[in-house]
Amino acid sequence: MVLNLSYAQAAVLAVTHEMNAHPNVVVMGEDVGRGGIFGQYKGLQERFGPARVIDTPISEAAIMGSGVGMALAGLRPVVEMRVVDFALCGMDEIVNQAAKNRYMFGGQGRVPLVARMPSGIWDASAAQHSQSLEAWFAHLPGVVVVCPSSAQDNYSLLRAAMQNDDPVVYMEHKTLWGLEGPVDEELHIPLGQAATLRSGPDLTLVSWSRQVHVCAQACEQLAALGIGVELIDLRTIWPWDREAVLQSCARTGRLLVVHEAIQAAGFGAEIVATVAEHLPCKVKRLGAPRIPVGYAPVLEAQARVSEQAIVQAAQQLMK
């Protein structure tokens, strides 16, 4: 069945399906009982009860540590961190426990845990609530990193993440919760598969999460200028779909990677380096300046990668 759902409603539907199918799936975190701060757990505690949708104290280290223990004991926890910025209080449990357990103990234990960490600039929320830290987790062996950009992806990729036997850092964008779109309940999207949203002969444009929508708007401007862009939504940061990107770049000969995260040491550098190592391709990356996100609108705007900046970067590559 195809439904028209918001990004948040799609997530609720995904968790509902998995909790119905697997009694060892549990949800835990602050405010999950009342539906979560974005409505991404709305109605789940009423449906499944407080033993499976568990409200926790305000301690990210305790929440994540409990989730790791539950996963090792045979449960499949969905661990809510509220926003990625708060997950920093539970980094030891993520980095040294969840990510490394399977390797350190020779595969005797698995940590099938989904850590939901809403990411990105949150309007008028300033520096401690607006970070994009996907490159941190991509650098971490042992975890999968997912950044869905649409309601369909949030449904299908969240289900795939919950079915995965290794820890998944699942990064929904803080401002996409109300975004609506068609959701096919039967559509399964594997982790690690990119989506080509637009075809074009002149330039490959790669992005993920909310920035995909800004890139799509830039593609319209570029089309009006006679530049045909192939737009790829990476969807999964690790593992990332190298073949899709390399095949596109082989056709266009030009690559622009755009992300909301700070440009310095961002994941875009990994993509352009990989393409440059394999193909005679012109490459460029575009990310945010290395500044904290300001509270005032004029300062927040300085930390965003705008549609016009993408158009200008693409035009430079075409020279």
Active site residue 129: yes
Contacts of 39 (CB under 8 A, 6+ apart): 8, 9, 12, 177
Token pair of 2, please? 């195809």
Which one is catalytic: 17, 129, 139, 213?
129
C-alpha 251: how far from chain center: 27
Are 177 and 40 in contact by the 8 Å Cβ rule? The answer is yes
Are 28 and 80 in contact by the 8 Å Cβ rule? The answer is yes
Helical ranges in 79-193 per DSSP H: 84-87, 91-92, 101-104, 134-138, 151-163
Report which DSSP code applies to 97: I
Residue with tokens 């350190």: 104
Are 170 and 7 in contact by the 8 Å Cβ rule? The answer is no
What does the alpha-carbon distance between residue 228 and residue 223 come to, in Å, rounded to a whole number?
6
Which amino acids are annotated catalytic?
129
